[in-house]
A and B are shown apart, each in its own frame.
Chain A
Amino acid sequence: MMERKLRGRGIAASWYGIARTATIDRAGAWAEIDDGGTGKIVTGVTEIGEGILTVLAQIAAEEMGIRPEDVTIGDNDTARAPEAAHAGATRQTYMIGNSVALASREARSALFAELADHWGVAVDTLKAFNGEVWAVETNQRVSMKDAVKICKARGVVPVGSASFTAHGTGLDPVDGSGAPWQAYVFGTQVAEVEVDTYTGEVQVLGIWAVHDVGRAINPRGVEGQIEGGVVQGLGQALMEDYQTVDGHTTTHGFAKYILPTSLDIPQINCTIVEDPDPLSPLRAKGIGEPALVPTAPAIMNAIYDAIGVRIKSLPATPEKILQALRERHAANQREIA
């Protein structure tokens, strides 16, 4: 006789490409090191919750030698910002991050050129970090606030701009050959589930998610993307189903279209792997979409491990699972008979 609650584990591996598919991708950015030792970044960045604004502030801060909280990022406005195109294709850290890094570097170079001359040192002896600028092996050190004053007093506003390109090629129309992306990421997730054989309900108790992101600019932000992606994957695996009959939906609102709540989610254990991208200044790649790819098959493989039924049609609702269990039981009975 079957125990009521049975557990199992499954895995799934995955891969994904970074930035727009099978085409050349581009992003532009402007940078300025500003009064008070602050920074301005203007670029067509589309923050949709993934955390790109903070990532860009960290990148700009690192390149300019100031603090992330000193960076102001301009609004995404076609009349005010250079094109950096869209939020999608797991492209913003890669395309806009690199563009902002290069633009910030140019602004810093402008500043350093003036400061080096002002101090009478070689420009490659200058370093800046966390709001201070200094020349190595000398006692020349100023706040970034003062460095900007010096630069501007010399008649130079430290600005920079950049455009970053990702060289995807199109695909051959017959055999699909081509180089759709210049950067790839890999991932694997392991799922542990408990299946209630009385009701067919599945609870996911643990997910171990390992993803290569090239370089994690903000590790907590990467985790947030993984956790969000896993739960979306879980939702598709077990409960979400947009249904129509003759084109009319029967799932018109959230009472019928079931999204995961706080009570449905597993403990999510994230491991970030860094396989740096050789083609970009920052070496970072991306995580937004890759986080979601392996979750559903890992859960289905775990269900199989628990109860020996393979669900090949998502979502794996309690009804489908009980039906599959019933069929398997009947098949076993026929075998025995």
Chain B
Amino acid sequence: MPKLKLELQVNGRKVSREAEPHQRLLDFLRDDLNLTGTKEGCGAGECGTCSVFVDGKLVKSCLMPVAKAAGTSVQTIEGLAAPGDLTPVQKAFHKTGASQCGYCIPGMVMAATSALRENPNAGIEEIKERLGGNICRCTGYTKIFEAVEMARDVIAGEMPAAVLEEDAVGESFIGANVRRLDAPSKVSGRLKYAADMKMPDMLQMQVLRSPHAHARIMSIDTSAAEAMDGVACVITSADVPGKDGFGVFVHDQPTMATGKVRYVGEAVAAVAAEDLLIARRAVAAIKVEYEPLPGIFFAEDARKPGAPVLHDYAPDNLVKHIPIRKGNVEAGFAQADIILEDDFSTQQVEHGYLEPEAGIAYVDADDVVVVISPSQNISHHRHMLAEIIDKPINKVRFIMSPVGGGFGGKEDMIYQGMLAICAMKTHRPVQLNFTREESIIASAKRHPSKVHYKLGLKKDGRITAIEFSMLSDGGAYGMSSEGVMRKAAILSCGPYEVDNLKIDTVAVYTNNTPSGAFRTFGGMQAQFATESMMDMAAEALGMDPFAIRRVNMMKVGSRTHTQQELTTASLDRVLDAAEKASRWESGPPTVRGPARKDMNGPDTRKPCTLGARFETATPGPTEAEKVA
């Protein structure tokens, strides 16, 4: 394979290197030039974290074969400002709080810089359009827009540069908008996440994942993979030294599949090799014989008689059932003037953190097994790993690398065990970087839900009884299902004082992608149903939606659904503030949209129609005129 000879300029420096013909510009920048500020969030041109300037045009470097960069001038995030300095755009991102986890931020700063270079007078609609190719999962974009507009105004001299500095201190640091400590390292692209880290002698690991949803593993032949040049080790479940099993609540998940696979994407084996390409080819050379088994793909089927048993310890495929009972629902419904009954469902949701899972493991000079990863719970991971690799707990060390988004998706220890075992076998550092596709199929999702809801109320809006039942597909492994069912049950019937309740939440095992921890842990699925029902009740009773909630709201002294007495409660203040802030026009929710007068206010945005830049259609600035 003849190498490419490349001559180009990167951040003002002449670069003359050889590259593999298949490398993308992204790989060349990150691996060969150690410019790791540019990220691979998805590798398919969808997320924008790989954005760089090539000959002045912003492009997605994950879609650019490196040969195309020959003879060009490339500018990356590292090249925007002089070392130790920050551009106005970068400073504005720092000032407004536009940087949260930081993983999208280099790409976003590049897009913002490009926007202002192309049109120094860009208005908010054009700014939004020019950022449309960059995804952020943490910030909701709002403070990013604020930063771009602030930078625009500072550069144009409409606002003084001092606005980019820290606000003057008041009487206290509590309640102050102190700028984020970690923002400078993020807006400059200097912060190293796990995938950016390099250690001498480091191996690359890749994982063989199950193509079947449910199958017995008849045999695994790793001989061809092991024999390949550059392969340092190949591991399977047989290589786990200690007591296998991990999980947030129940330790039902093996480090690698043992005896059978339970979902598509489950780890079956892993290879550590000199480079990524060899590792991937070695993984493809592992031969696994599977005997497919009948699978369960709908939560409703999991507990039917005769359903396949997915975990021996749970013959009815039940992960967890949480019941809550209060008062007497039959009596409650008997007292009701109206009863509404309906069904709701929510889907499995992907966390979509911009940083795909990644990590490094090594064994240090004191024989401590060290794992560096963006784990959301290193305390618990250390506990579990110590048992899995049969080491005393103080001989296992977890270091949290900067997390490029979590939301609950990085609580599960789905790859750290394999890294540790490869490190122990080779006594070399081993790195694994998930692809986006791998992250999507292997990691947990938000629990889907099917809720059946029965709500009884008096004419004055007071709830007399609620019957709430929720069924969730927990997927192949327990993960956080127990906790999610518990939280969903406790919060289900909303912030309302209800005397008669019957609540049941159930999570079952299936052969689908596992469901696990994800921001609100069941709270939003349950309350989606409740808040929909409340509006339906308001319509039926001719009541304003705020009014019906006030009639029922929890107050100081109320007993919650689990019969806890509240010593504080603020829903009254919150409802009042929401009604006021939104200038809510009272009335029952009887499809008043066409008639109401409280809409289209200055606190709403214009609908997006695309084409904002057509309005300011003048030729763009020359290179010399570009401002950002």
A and B touch in the complex (CB under 8 A): yes
What is A's interface to B at a CB cutoff of 8 Å? 3, 5-17, 21-22, 44, 46-51, 53-54, 57-59, 61-62, 67-69, 73, 75-79, 83-89, 129-130, 171, 173-180, 184-190, 192, 194, 203, 205-206, 208, 210-212, 215-221, 223-224, 226-233, 235-236, 240-244, 246-249, 251-255, 257, 259, 261-269, 271, 273, 275, 277-278, 282, 288-289, 292-298, 300-301, 304-308, 310, 312-315
Chain A residues with CB under 8 A of B532: 297, 300-301, 310, 312
Beyond contacts A68-B181, A188-B577: 12 other A-B pairs, Cβ-Cβ < 8 A, are A10-B535, A11-B535, A47-B182, A177-B563, A180-B490, A186-B495, A228-B138, A236-B349, A241-B348, A252-B440, A252-B441, A273-B573
- Given the known interface contacts A86-B411, A278-B568, the answer about A306 and B578 at a Cβ–Cβ threshold of 8 Å is no
Chain A residues lying within 8 Å of B325, measured Cβ to Cβ, are 174-176
Query: B331 near A: Cβ within 8 Å?
Result: no
Complex: how many Å from CA A261 to CA B111? Answer: 13
Q: How far, in angstroms, from A190 to B576 measured CA to CA in the complex?
A: 12
In the complex, the answer to whether A289 meets B350 with C-beta atoms within 8 Å is: no
Q: Mark B503-522, 1 if CB is under 8 A from A, else 0.
A: 10000000111000101110
- A22–B486 Cα gap in the complex (Å)? 8
Which 7 pairs of residues, A with B, have the shortest CB-CB distance?
A49-B101, A247-B213, A176-B324, A227-B140, A8-B593, A86-B377, A297-B531
Instruction: Among A10, A194, A314, point to the contact of B589 (Cβ < 8 A).
Output: A10
Please report the C-alpha to C-alpha distance between residue A187 and residue B574 in the assembled complex, in whole angstroms: 6
B400 near A75 with CB under 8 A, answer yes
The digit string for B557-571, where 1 denotes a CB below 8 A from any CB of A, is 000011110111111
Q: Which of B139, B213, B344, B486 contacts A246 (CB 8 A)?
A: B213
B564 and A180 contacting across the interface, CB-CB below 8 Å:
yes
Contact, CB under 8 Å: B511 / A247: yes
CA distance A323 to B466 in the complex (A): 30
Chain B residues, CB < 8 A from A190: 578, 581-582, 584
Which residues does chain B contribute within 8 Å of A244, judged by CB atoms? 264, 297, 348, 512-513
B471 sits at the interface (CB 8 A): no
Quick check: A307 and B591 within 8 Å, CB to CB? yes
Is residue B600 within 8 Å, beta carbon to beta carbon, of the partner chain? yes
B487 at the interface (CB under 8 A from A): yes
B141 and A218 within 8 A (CB): no
Could you list 30 examples of A-B contacts with CB < 8 Å?
A10-B545, A16-B520, A49-B406, A57-B178, A77-B398, A79-B399, A86-B376, A88-B408, A174-B323, A176-B324, A176-B561, A186-B495, A188-B575, A206-B605, A208-B603, A212-B570, A220-B177, A226-B140, A227-B140, A230-B140, A231-B140, A236-B347, A242-B347, A275-B569, A278-B567, A293-B523, A293-B524, A293-B527, A296-B528, A312-B345
Check B85 for interface membership: any CB of A closer than 8 A: no
Q: CB within 8 A of B524: which of A61, A233, A277?
A: A233
Instruction: Find the residue from B101, B180, B297, B345 having the highest chain A CB count within 10 A.
Output: B180
Interface size grouping (class) on chain B: 35 or more
- How far is A171 from B466 in the complex, measured between Cα atoms in Å? 19
> How far is A266 from B349 in the complex, measured between Cα atoms in Å?
21
Contact residues of B: prevailing secondary structure: loop
Closest CB of chain B to A219's CB: distance in Å? 6
List, in ascending order, chain A residues with CB within 8 A of B129's CB: 262-263
B242 interface contact, C-beta 8 A: no
Chain B minimum-CB-distance residue to A272? B577
- Is B382 an interface residue when CB atoms closer than 8 A count as contact? yes
Q: Chain A: which residue is nearest B473 at the CB level?
A: A244
Cβ proximity bits B574-602 to A, threshold 8 Å, 1 near / 0 not: 11011001101000010111101011110
CB-CB < 8 A to B441: which residues of A? 249, 252
Residues of chain B contacted by A44 (CB below 8 angstroms) = 378-379
B46 CB contact (under 8 Å) in A15, A236, A255? A255
B405 lies within 8 A of A48 (CB): yes
Cβ of B607 < 8 Å from any Cβ of A?
A: yes
Assembly CA distance A130 to B176 (angstroms): 13
